[in-house]
Amino acid sequence: MRSAAGILCILVLALVAGYGIGAYGLKAAIALAALGLALTVFFRPELGFWASIASITIGQLIRIQLPGSDNTVIINDVLLPVLILSWLVWVMARRSWKIPASSLYLPMSLWVIVMMLSLFLNRSGYSSTELLSGALYIVRWIEYAMVLFMGFSFVRSRPGAKKYLVALVWTGVITAILGFVQLKLFPDFSFMVPKGWDPHVGRLLSTWFDPNFLGGYLAFLSTLSLAIALGKKPAEAKWWWLAVAVMTAAIVLTFSRSGYIALAAGVGLVTLLRSKAILFLMLMIFAAIILFVPRVQERVIGIRSIDETAQLRLVSWQNALEVIHDHPVTGIGYNLYKYVQVQYNFLNKTSEHSASGSDSSLLTVWVTTGTAGLFIYLWLLGAMLWEAWKTWRDKKLSSEWRMYGLGLMAGFVALILHGQFVNGLLYPHMMQAMWLALAVALVVRQPETT
């Protein structure tokens, strides 16, 4: 009887789908696909969690314009709310949810409060639509932070932690490979300028469409992978070394100076604390790349000079500092910087790419949430480093997991440095990777795991 009912439901759904696609074409197909994904995520939350990780490789390929707004969202911005709801139902049904003790929770909570206060205290200066835009981005930050708590439920054990960690690194490897394909087929990205993207030529962008954000992400995962490889026996570390090689090659081809700085910081810290021989080898490899690849040489030399790109970044910093001078205590409201930039004549319109932030994560935090927000956000970053350090120094863990802790700490240092040249610490994919990596670190330290 159940089988017959199931078949009948499938037939009815197939008829509805067929009619919709026939009558409305591609839009109906996309809507039905989205509905199917939402239903799958709702009834199988762990499958949805895996899907959210996989979607990192899609990057900016699919962007959804919010009605009546110049804001856009990516797949995970839509997927995560459904996933969080289904996960909450799943947790309540199981009546079993263990939250490891952590120094993260207090600064996380205070940061959310500060973001909301920044909107409330500055509400008189904005329209209701503009305030709603800021509020939605606070919700977005909370959604990505929930990856940490969902990770506790789905990672569960050290074997589970290894699976999710491998999946996270695979997102970097696959995105890097897609970048090689993009560089071959679409080396000139000028055709995307009308859609708000920068006219990059001959740079690896992959599905992210931005070499700087991608460079930071790959540097973070390369640092993690290198640390794990150094914690394993040589025969067990081959895949991790291959992952490091693929992602490092991709970083080189982004020609992103912020990516180079992040990679040098992350890899340098891991090898300095673990293996001076590997550090020397890495220095020789980097020196050879700089010597024999003229464009890399040009970008590295440019770190010490002020070229056109550096000049634009300096202007971005100066603009942010000017607004901070005028609004030092409460900031101007979370994610409302683009409206203020237009008021100050820094921008012509709010729809310009990356208008919502400065070319520095900490300056973006400072200008939008004020001095209190900056200190609390620094506290949160410090708590992340502390949790990674505790994993590295935990004598009860295997060499592999202790090295993961070192890699995580070095990776966070890399991202923090990288985030001073682009608004990387508040970038959705970056936040997702950071919270998932922290969930893994906290789970593996629990004595009940196996």
Give the model's pLDDT for residue 2.
44
Start-to-end CA distance of the chain, whole Å, equals: 42
Give the model's pLDDT for residue 17.
46
Predicted TM-score (pTM) of the model is 0.89
Among 417, 415, 394, 420, smallest CA distance to 405 is for 394
CA distance 147 to 108: 13
Distance of CA 433 to the CA centre of its chain: 5
CA distance 381 to 361: 12
| Residue reference for tokens 């599905």 | 207
Give the model's pLDDT for residue 425.
97
User: Counting Cβ atoms within 10 Å, is residue 56 exposed (0-12), middle (13-18) or buried (19+)?
Assistant: buried
Mind giving me the DSSP string for 335-349? T-HHHHHHHTTS-S-
Distance of CA 1 to the CA centre of its chain: 47
Give the model's pLDDT for residue 429.
96
Contact 138, 146 (CB under 8 A): no
Tokens of residue 271, six digits: 């090898």
The length of the chain is: 450
Q: Which residues pair with 188 in a beta bridge?
A: 201
Positive/negative CA dihedral, 441, 445, 449, 450: positive
Among 58, 152, 56, smallest CA distance to 104 is for 152
Averaged in consecutive runs of 10 residues, what is the pLDDT profile of the chain (450 residues)? 47 49 54 60 81 93 72 82 89 81 97 97 91 92 97 92 97 98 92 80 94 97 97 92 97 94 96 88 85 77 67 88 94 92 82 73 96 97 98 95 98 97 95 98 80
Give the model's pLDDT for residue 434.
98
CA distance 133 to 334: 9
Beta strands in 262-311 (DSSP E): none
Mind giving me the DSSP string for 17-73? HHHHHHHHTHHHHHHHHHHHHHHHHHH-HHHHHHHHHHGGGGTTSSEEEPTTSS-EE
Q: What is the pLDDT of residues 48-91, one digit of tens each?
A: 899 999 999 999 988 877 666 666 778 888 889 989 998 998 88
Tokens of residue 171, six digits: 């997102």
**In the predicted model, what is the mean pLDDT of the chain?**
87
| Residue reference for tokens 């990770």 | 151
Among 82, 88, 89, smallest CA distance to 41 is for 82
Mind giving me the DSSP string for 355-385? TTS-SSHHHHHHHHHHHHHHHHHHHHHHHHH
| Residue reference for tokens 């910081």 | 265
CA distance 81 to 317: 33
| Residue reference for tokens 């995962």 | 221
CA distance 303 to 299: 7
